[in-house]
Amino acid sequence: MKALILVGGFGTRLRPLTLSVPKPLVEFANKPMILHQIEALKAIGVTEVVLAINYQPEVMLNFLKEFETKLEIKITCSQETEPLGTAGPLALARDKLIDDSGEPFFVLNSDVISEYPLKQMIDFHKAHGGEASIMVTKVDEPSKYGVVVMEESTGKVERFVEKPKIFVGNKINAGIYLLNPSVIDRIELRPTSIEKEVFPKIAADNKLYAMVLPGFWMDIGQPRDYIVGLRLYLDSLKKNSSSKLATGPHIVGNVLVDETAKIGEGCLIGPDVAIGPGCIVESGVRLSRCSVMRGVYIKKHACISSSIIGWHSTVGRWARVENMTILGEDVQVCDEIYSNGGVVLPHKEIKSSILKPEIVM
């Protein structure tokens, strides 16, 4: 079985982190985003993953070579010379995706994090006998999204309503699809949208079915959603009583700590924190709702909340970093500095406080 992951372009919404690595390689819960998906695909028997990509394919492939061997799964790239939207990449990768087996293939948006119930999706797809299955998720505010209107009993999709003004349903496209090879025949090789151009036609032929995603879902392509996604992901680990979660007198709520990280005396860590490999957290530090990436050094009594601290950055003593502050790679925050929502580009030194959300070039 094969899968295509829509990797796309520059990852502008997650800058300054994506100035250092392509977005799918940014760690989420101590693991590159795309690896969460590749591991889930491998677990249900996918043997080949194709990455649809138009930016820095060599960086991606060099990085993933190591995982190809470790996971025993083939990873290839299908490179766009121009952005092809969400459907064009399927036409471009046609020869990689279609073989003699006639088996359906998965398509995933690379920003989506969930429990990936892919096995259930295969069973669902076989049972309804249509041409395509999409995963949908329930949301509280459907007016912000494209809503999928479906028959509750069978899952058959009737229509799509983009950002509805009146309530038509609360289920939205979750960015995980299982498609028969015939779907590719419906797609021209040009920039085109699978959601707006391809799925409505399949629905009109009564061949599109939607499965409601059990468990959590988040598109973690921007910082605020990344932090929410971290909470949901850690909640899910807790629910499945995972041994990965940290325990101890200094831990509050759900926390992931890499085994190579060092944490000093009298810290309070959590809830909803991920601390990456090689990090040093000195005594008296307070961390909550934040992601601390590989090689970060946090000095005594610093306080960090609702923020992302990029690789090899340093946060000084008694510094306070909060309100969606994003530090790029190798940023130095000096002692006793306050950052209120600062977005700091890589390799900067912050010597004076950032009092309101702004970008520090």
pLDDT tens track for 9-51? 666 778 898 888 888 889 999 999 989 999 999 999 999 999 8
pLDDT at 324: 95
Q: Do residues 302 and 324 share a domain?
A: yes
DSSP 3-state of 207 = coil
Distances (CA, A) of 303 to 2, 147, 354: 45, 40, 15
Q: Report the chain's mean pLDDT, rounded to a whole number.
A: 90
Q: Do residues 155 and 196 share a domain?
A: yes
Q: Do residues 237 and 140 share a domain?
A: no
**CATH number (domain holding residue 289):** 2.160.10
* Mean of pLDDT values over 102-112: 91
Stated pTM of the model:
0.88
Distance CA 219, CA 174 (A): 8
Distance CA 269, CA 234 (A): 14
Q: Do residues 202 and 339 share a domain?
A: no
**CATH number (domain holding residue 15):** 3.90.550.10
Find residue 85's DSSP bridge partners.
Answer: 192
Q: Do residues 89 and 206 share a domain?
A: yes
* Mean of pLDDT values over 124-133: 92
- Element at 255 (helix H, strand E): strand 255-257
Task: Give me the number of domains the chain comprises.
Answer: 2
pLDDT at 320: 97
Position 62 confidence tier, pLDDT thresholds 50, 70, 90: confident
Q: Do residues 268 and 206 share a domain?
A: no
User: 235-282: per-residue pLDDT in tens?
Assistant: 999 988 778 899 999 999 999 999 999 999 999 998 999 999 999 999
Q: Do residues 75 and 197 share a domain?
A: yes
Q: The domain containing residue 329 runs over which residues?
A: 226-359
Q: Do residues 84 and 209 share a domain?
A: yes
Are residues 56 and 31 in contact, defined by beta-carbon separation less than 8 angstroms? no
Residue 62, phi then psi, degrees to nearest 5? -60, -45
Q: Do residues 92 and 141 share a domain?
A: yes
Whether residue 323 has pLDDT greater than 80:
yes
Q: Do residues 209 and 233 share a domain?
A: no
User: 182-211: per-residue pLDDT in tens?
Assistant: 999 899 888 888 888 899 899 999 999 999
Decide which of 159, 188, 219 is a domain's last residue.
219
Distances (CA, A) of 129 to 116, 158, 204, 211: 21, 16, 16, 13
Decide which of 191, 219, 247 is a domain's last residue.
219
Distance CA 342, CA 266 (A): 27
Q: Do residues 233 and 162 share a domain?
A: no
Whether residue 168 has pLDDT greater than 90:
no
DSSP 3-state of 309 = strand
Q: Do residues 152 and 288 share a domain?
A: no
Decide which of 219, 240, 259 is a domain's last residue.
219
Position 61 confidence tier, pLDDT thresholds 50, 70, 90: confident
pLDDT at 260: 97
Distance CA 54, CA 44 (A): 27
Distance CA 150, CA 124 (A): 15
